[in-house]
């Protein structure tokens, strides 16, 4: 058990990470492509329309997975930030940096698809519904986090400062979430899984007709996130190495 635990940290070794990620990346990308294409085609063309919302409801196959991944990306950044602050693994800091733009784009997709989906029902493109508003605030957190990375030249200093910001931001994001519920009771549909069951009153649980394509699409988004983060972390490592080499050359 402990031997296994300690071996996890070996992947934080940059060389080991580069080798492992190079081997994993094609597989992860292929799985992401298969799940995404499969899940979306399945969801879009092989599930029945909602009796009230018609075909619009099918946007959930993009909306829900991107929303789930938008939150999980921030959570991953939080874990990576903690690992950096506690164990000083450089790969971890760069993985957090690499995940931020991906998470931000997922947040944007969730916001956009949410607006498109809600428009016919709410009669407006934007409602200050707690959940939609939480994603807007999450988007602002991503923006601030990335802007802070951008503003600092020294990479270790940047990693330290953004990690503390991520930590503090996470606490405030959770408080904001509850504050928003308190502030406005909300028009949003119920939780993710019950959303899947909208319009199928006859089946008490979630109908597998909707659940399986949703889960496939969710897996597709998760693997897409993983592939993008691996790819971007590799790029960050190369960029960092390049910077060090240039600095070395200038000193010599």
Distance CA 13, CA 116 (A): 44
Q: What number of chain residues touch another protein (CB under 8 A)?
A: 42
Continuous H helices in 197-207: none
According to the binding rule CB under 8 A, does residue 153 interact with another protein? Answer: yes
State the minimum distance, in angstroms, from the CB of residue 90 to another protein. Answer: 4
Q: Which of 23, 30, 86, 151 binds another protein (CB under 8 A)?
A: 151
Which residues within the stretch 63-92 sit at the binding site for another protein (CB under 8 A)? 90
According to the binding rule CB under 8 A, does residue 11 interact with another protein? Answer: no
Distance CA 209, CA 212 (A): 6
Three-state SS for 20?
helix
Residue 161 burial by Cβ neighbours in a 10 Å radius (0-12, 13-18, 19+)? middle
Residue 51 burial by Cβ neighbours in a 10 Å radius (0-12, 13-18, 19+)? exposed
Q: Which of 55, 183, 194, 205 binds another protein (CB under 8 A)?
A: 183
According to the binding rule CB under 8 A, does residue 137 interact with another protein? Answer: yes
According to the binding rule CB under 8 A, does residue 210 interact with another protein? Answer: no
According to the binding rule CB under 8 A, does residue 182 interact with another protein? Answer: yes
Which residues within the stretch 17-36 sit at the binding site for another protein (CB under 8 A)? 17-18
- How far, in Å, are 10, 13, 151 from residue 91 at the CA level? 11, 7, 20
According to the binding rule CB under 8 A, does residue 188 interact with another protein? Answer: no
Single out the segment in contact with another protein by CB under 8 A; choices: 46-54, 63-71, 108-116, 160-168. Answer: 160-168
For another protein, the closer of residues 37 and 244 by Cβ is 244
Three-state SS for 54?
strand
- On whether the CB atoms of residues 130 and 124 are closer than 8 A, the answer is no
Q: Which of 64, 180, 196, 224 binds another protein (CB under 8 A)?
A: 180
DSSP secondary structure of 164-198: HHHHHHHHHHHHHHHHHHHH------S-HHHHHTT
According to the binding rule CB under 8 A, does residue 235 interact with another protein? Answer: no
- How far, in Å, are 130, 189, 201, 236, 246 from residue 159 at the CA level? 31, 38, 50, 12, 20
According to the binding rule CB under 8 A, does residue 252 interact with another protein? Answer: yes
According to the binding rule CB under 8 A, does residue 164 interact with another protein? Answer: yes
Binding site for another protein (CB under 8 A): 14-15, 17-18, 90, 137, 140-141, 143-144, 147-148, 151-157, 160-161, 164-165, 167-169, 172, 175-176, 179-180, 182-183, 237-238, 240-241, 244, 247-248, 251-252
């Amino acid at each position: 058990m402990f031997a296994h635990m300690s071996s996890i940290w070996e992947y934080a070794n940059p060389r080991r990470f580069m080798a492992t990620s190079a081997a994993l990346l094609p597989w992860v990308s292929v799985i992401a492509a298969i799940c995404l294409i499969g899940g979306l085609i399945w969801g879009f063309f092989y599930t029945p329309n909602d009796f009230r919302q018609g075909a619009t409801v099918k946007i959930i196959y993009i909306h829900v997975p991107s929303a789930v991944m938008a939150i999980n990306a921030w959570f991953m950044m939080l874990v990576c930030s903690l690992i950096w602050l506690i164990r000083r693994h450089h790969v971890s800091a760069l993985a957090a940096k690499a995940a931020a733009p991906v998470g931000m784009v997922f947040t944007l997709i969730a916001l956009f698809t949410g607006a498109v989906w809600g428009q016919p029902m709410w009669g407006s493109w934007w409602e200050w519904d707690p959940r939609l508003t939480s994603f807007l605030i999450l988007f602002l957190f991503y923006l601030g986090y990335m802007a802070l990375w951008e503003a600092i030249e020294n990479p270790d200093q940047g990693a330290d400062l953004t990690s503390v910001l991520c930590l503090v931001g996470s606490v405030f994001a959770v408080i904001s979430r509850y504050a928003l519920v308190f502030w406005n009771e909300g028009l949003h549909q119920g939780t993710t899984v019950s959303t899947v069951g909208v319009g199928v009153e006859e089946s008490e649980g979630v109908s597998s007709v909707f659940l399986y394509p949703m889960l496939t699409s969710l897996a597709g988004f998760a693997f897409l996130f993983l592939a993008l983060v691996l790819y971007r972390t590799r790029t960050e490592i190369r960029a960092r190495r390049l910077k060090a080499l240039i600095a070395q050359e200038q000193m010599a």
